Structure formats: structure tokens, C-alpha cells
Amino acid sequence: MKAAVVDHRGGVPEYRDVDDPNPVEGQALLRVEAVPVENVDRAIVAGTHYTAAPFQAALPAVPCFDGVGRTADGTLVGFGGIEPPHGALAEYVVVPEGHWAPIPDGIEPSTAATLATAITGMSMKTAAGLQPGETVLVQGATGVAGRLAVQIARLLGAGRIVATGRDAAALASLADLGADAVIDTSVSDDDLVRAYRDAAGDGYDVVVDFLWGRPTRMLCEALIPETFAIGKPVRLVQVGEAAGDAFELPARAVRTSGLEIYGAARNLMAGMADAYAQVVEWVRSGELVIDVTTMPLSRIAEAWQRTDLRGSRLVIVPD
């Protein structure tokens, strides 16, 4: 069969022949229908993600570890649980029992492959307990997950939505998705701190953070009270690290600012079923729109190197 293969750390996947997979008892052979290519997949191939070691040790290997496929009887399912050197960017995959589940009716394979990205946006509710009427700040709102988070905040009833990013044109488009204000993070540190304060209104209640790094460092500065007053509680959900994996957090940014930091996985398992059902309902109704760009597996090298898809999720489909 054909698959995308990476030979070395940081390599570009190449379309080539590999051995056909042979399922054993407790496994299913699936025909692959759609595979999302996400930042985490690129980081694993580059060797920079904290889970990259098994993939790097297994090279040459096939990237990506989840997607959408069809069983022998034609049932459309979402799958995961694949371990290196095997990966999802192939014509067929072998998946362990318990690592696939039917895709709800009415959702195309390419869209179904991106539902996990929308679930990260639901962390504003599952991890931070967002309530209707509260103010949400989406850090990194011009990317795929960030744009979905802006829509989800609106659908969950946020009273005010503030969105950040570096792309002026992309920021301008966020008003159509529900953003009430936008912040350009490419400005100087002082200007960025001032922008966070000016856009806060009565204060941020929930922050969905896809950036970390410098922008979140400046946000923490903006949250520090300028008097001895105790700051309003701010529940920050850490989701991604597009702007850096670390920054120095001064004690004063925590002591009285009201800042509370949660990981996106907080309460995720307990709330996953409800979050997934809600996302599916919104997608079916057209209330939640996921921008998808599809390319065939045979063009994986070209697809992998595209840099023009900001705000759209790349999904690899069969030829």
C-alpha cells in the first residue's frame, strides 16, 4: 500500500510503498478516509514535542496517529491508538480494539477528522467552568483552534469575547465569528500590556491560551493590580504553546491578581461525552463552522510544507 514516510528527524513525509498491514485478533483493518495534520504532528516529526521520543526511535515511520476510516462493513469511524512506526497517513491502518468509534451521521469524513480541534475550545467550559455572560479572552485566535474557540465562546453564551493574534487581516475577520474586540500581539511589550487592560472591560473571567510564551507573560503583567486591591479571579486554561513553551512568571503576577491556571485536560474525561455531543450538534446545525483544506495523500510532501493555511485545518484524504 501507499503511505507517507519520514526517514529522519524533521524530515518531510514522502509518498511511497510500504508493507500492507496485517491485523491480528483484537485489531481492525480500516481504510483511511481523512487524517488531520496538526501542529502536534509536525512537532513530533521535528522531535520538539514532549511525546516525540517513540516516533523518533522508530524512524523511518508514518506520521499522525488518529483520523477517520471505514471498517470492512463500510461503517465510518474515528480511530486512534496507533503506535510508531505505524501512522494514520496511509491507505490502511490497523487499530487496536477499543480505539475506534462510529462517527455520527450527517458529518463528512474531512470534517469529522477535525472535531478533536473543536473539543479543545470546549475546555473553556470543561476546565474553567465558563458561565453565560462571562468575558472570554482567546489567546491565539487566528489559528484553526483559536477561530473555533471564538465561535464556541459565542455559542456558550459569553458576554464579551476578546481575541488576540499577529495577523491583522485574520484579526479583522474575527468580528464575523463573534469577537467583540481584538488585540495585535506583535506590538511592543508596553503597548501589549496596555491593550490587554484596555480590552478587559470589567475583567477577563476565562482565558483560553493557545500561545503561552511572551503574549501570556504580558497578559500576566496586565492582570497585576495597580493598588493593594485583590484582583478579579481569572481562570486561564493552558492549551497550546505557539508563542513559546516557557516564560518567567513573577510572584506579583500570581499573589493578588486572581490568576488561576488550569491545564486543558482538567475535567476532560468527565466532560468529554457532553462536549463531543455539543460540538456535533453545532456542526450539524451549521452554527459551528470548521474551515478545512483537503489534499490527497499522494501530495503529502507539498501539503506538509504549506504555510498559507492559517485558520484552515489541513486534512489528508485518499487519492
pLDDT digits (tens, 9 = 90+) for 92-139: 999 998 899 999 988 999 999 999 899 999 999 999 999 999 999 999
pLDDT value at residue 234: 96
Radius of gyration over alpha carbons of the chain, in Å?
21
Cα 294-98-293 angle, rounded to 5 deg: 5
Cα 101-118-257 angle, rounded to 5 deg: 130
pLDDT digits (tens, 9 = 90+) for 223-238: 998 877 777 899 999 9
Contact 4, 297 (CB under 8 A): yes
State the fold for domain 2-114+290-317: Quinone Oxidoreductase; Chain A, domain 1 (3.90.180)
Contact 297, 316 (CB under 8 A): yes
Segments in the chain below pLDDT 70:
none
pLDDT value at residue 107: 93
Residue 214 belongs to what H/E stretch?
Answer: helix 213-223
pTM summary value? 0.92
pLDDT value at residue 230: 75
For residue 190, the tally of other CB atoms under 10 A from its CB is 10
CA–CA distance, 64 with 116 (Å, rounded to integer): 14
- Contacts of residue 121, defined as CB under 8 A and 6 or more positions apart, other chains included, come to 145, 148, 149, 151, 152, 153, 208
Q: Which of 182, 198, 187 is nearest to 141 (CA)?
A: 182
SS3 15: strand
pLDDT value at residue 271: 84
Domain ranges of the chain: 2-114+290-317, 118-268
Contact 35, 316 (CB under 8 A): yes
- Write the DSSP symbol of residue 218: H
Q: Which of 207, 227, 230, 229 is nearest to 219 (CA)?
A: 207
pLDDT value at residue 270: 86
CATH 3.40.50.261 fits 118-268, yes or no: no
pLDDT value at residue 310: 82
Per-position DSSP letters for 235-293, written without gaps between them = EEEE---TT-S-----THHHHTT-EEEEETTTTHHHHHHHHHHHHHHHHHHTSS---EE
pLDDT value at residue 144: 94
Burial of 312: CB neighbours in 10 Å, binned 0-12, 13-18, 19+: middle
